[in-house]
Structure 1
């Protein structure tokens, strides 16, 4: 956070930096066609608005400037999101308008002041502004920051942001802050009927046409049958109508088990998370050249786990044959 500059008569005239966490769709709305929306926001508010780079499902939007410029920028963002909600409702039978939601990223050392003793400060903010405010209990991955979610009508959100800014100025962060940096989308690509999908949360989303040579090979070699639907987005869990749990065993050569587990278990954990299956790797048996892997879950979970394990082998094989086809192992 930048230093406080001056205090003007009766009000704050300080330079402040506020960070927001947004999904790709929200960022697209803020940027607008050819960057026109964000350009207008910068010009009309006087705030600096920067959007983090990278092919990430989440992006950080940093707003810097005097407090009045920050409040104008927040107002423009909140009203833009409300406009998006109204536009999306015109195609929907829903009658009640959902609230606008913004997520701030705040150093954990300042969250205690936002909550207040026994929750008194956060309660006061909720009651005086009418906005819902939630401070996440856990820090965001690999950082010392927490997400603070504000939802409500745009007017309530603007009042709430003003109060949060005052608290943050009165209680600067203690010690060094490790900022949250969203990770690039590294979800494995799944193929069905010639279409590529990536998993985001609970859904398989059509993947942009940026298929590497390896992905094309994977599509030719292993069509993935459980995702046989052609709808734009569908639940990744429960692809098979059957929810009965069963187990399947695989034998993996000892010298290849490392590429399935990954560094500090990152790859196997990714496969568990993506597939929804339980995956247990047996300890190495003396005299045996193979390790037993047991996959437990619904038929869809098991199929997806098997596919991801096979895809991992192909990734490694492709990297050995053509290192230029892979950027990471």
Structure 2
């Protein structure tokens, strides 16, 4: 994007994209917002508790869309308070998703920019210290009255126009809502409350997928960012997967396998089908962290498919 001389009100009609994290389904509201603001508003698909809302358009359309979102959130807060004994109204909170390369400009030297934003708008602004999982984006949380939030978004847009992102951005993708699963002694258990419940379907899939795979406990998989764990040497891991399940790993036109490659940082090769064999060999190459993350993602894919088997109505979404 060309550097723009931006007025303090951010009044130049420059096309800009702002990403926002939201919870729940707000389909009807979004339709109305599109019509009234003139901005392009897209909501990420999938059964995730978190959705990414992408708002694109001239700056004034973006501000209109944000004003509508902020007032809608305030309305939701007021409605939810009518049933609660609390008397003080909590602030409206929005979470933007911003490329990490632009966060330095938002914070400013020694925090000067963010302090100026807080003081001039009255909104609370916080930039997360860590990047969102498997991405190069950070969450920027803004809270306050709808008016304060709108002023703050205007200032953030100005900074983002003046300091475009550097290098490639890996966008944050929310994870589907899934019950935590633990694999122990070759059995799969789902966690419900404080109990681990044996899950026969997942166990079957798990045994198929992990015939030769020592599985890393879920909590130990760390997303590998280039350069952060350059020290462990690359190693190779192989697993065998039945032919009839390979499609769910590859996905339509290779979309799923490419996603797993990108998120894990591992190289993944799938051998061609051998005549007379009902199985395919998958070879994963990378650091131990890359490999365990790739295994986890392949495993998660089997979990999604198992869930679809249990709930045939969701088959069309795969």
TM-score by length of 2: 0.58
- Superposed, 1:1-329 pairs within 5 Å as 11-23=11-23, 35-188=27-180
Contact 1:283 1:291 in 2 (8 A): yes
**Deviation, structure 1 residue 128:** 0.2
Shift of 1:205: 16
Query: 1:217: how far off?
Result: 18
Are the counterparts in 2 of residues 212 and 325 from structure 1 also a CA contact under 8 Å? no
Equivalent-residue separation in structure 2 for 1:277 and 1:11 (angstroms): 45
CA distance in 1, matches of 2:92, 2:198: 27
Q: Rate the CA distance shift 1:265–1:67 in 2: closer, same or farther, 3 A.
A: closer
State the SS of the aligned residue for 2:273: coil
Structure 1, 191-200 or 219-228: larger mean CA deviation? 219-228
Q: Is the 8 A contact 2:224 2:265 kept in 1?
A: no
Q: CA deviation at 1:98?
A: 0.3
Distance 1:300 1:121, change over 3 A: closer
Q: For residues 216 and 101 of structure 2, what CA distance do their matches in structure 1 show?
A: 49
In 1: Cα distance, 2:170 partner to 2:222 partner:
40
Match of 1:27 in 2: none
Residues 123 and 232 of structure 1, relative CA distance in 2, 3 Å threshold = closer
Q: Secondary structure at the match of 2:220?
A: coil
Q: Give CA deviations for 1:232-286 in whole Å, capped at 9, x if unaligned.
A: 9999xx9999999999999999999999999999999999999999999999999
Aligned partners of 1:245 and 1:297 also within 8 Å = yes
Unmatched runs of 5 consecutive residues or more in structure 1: 24-31
Moved more, 194-203 or 251-260: 251-260
Residues 137 and 169 in structure 2, CA contact (< 8 A), matched pair in contact too:
yes
Task: Structure 2 unaligned segments of length 5 or more: list them.
Answer: none
Query: Across the two proteins, how many residue pairs are aligned to each other?
Result: 318
Shift of 1:35: 3.9
RMSD: 11.0
Query: Greater CA deviation, 276-285 or 186-195?
Result: 276-285
1:38 Cα deviation (Å)? 1.5
- Contact 1:193-1:230 within 8 A present in 2 as well: no
Distance 1:264 1:188, change over 3 A: farther
Cα displacement (A) at 1:186: 2.3
Distance 1:4 1:44, change over 3 A: farther
Residue deviations 1:196-228, cap 9 Å, x none?
Answer: 99979999999999x999999999999999999
Determine the C-alpha separation between the residues in 2 that align with 1:261 and 1:33. Answer: 29
Return the offset for 1:39. Answer: 1.6
| Helix, strand or coil at the partner of 1:124 | helix
CA contact (8 A) 2:209 2:241 kept: no
Q: Deviations over 1:149-206 (max 9, x none)?
A: 0000000000000000000000000111111111112224899999999979999999
Query: How big is the shift at 1:11?
Result: 3.5
- Alpha carbons of structure 1 residues 239 and 181: separation in structure 2 relative to 1, 3 Å: closer
Mapped contact 1:3–1:15 kept (Cα < 8 A): no
Could you say what secondary structure the match of 1:234 adopts?
Answer: coil
The 1:213–1:34 alpha-carbon spacing in structure 2 relative to 1, beyond 3 Å, is: farther
Deviates more, 1:242-251 or 1:189-198: 242-251
Change (3 A) 1:246 1:95: farther
Task: Call closer, same or farther: CA 1:266–1:197 in 2, change over 3 Å.
Answer: farther
Provide closer, same or farther for how the CA distance between residues 114 and 231 of structure 1 changes in structure 2, counting only shifts above 3 A: closer
Larger Cα Rg: Structure 1 or Structure 2?
1
Q: Distance in 2 between matches of 1:47 and 1:39?
A: 11
Q: 1:67 offset after TM fit, Å?
A: 0.1
Range with bigger deviation, 91-100 or 302-311: 302-311
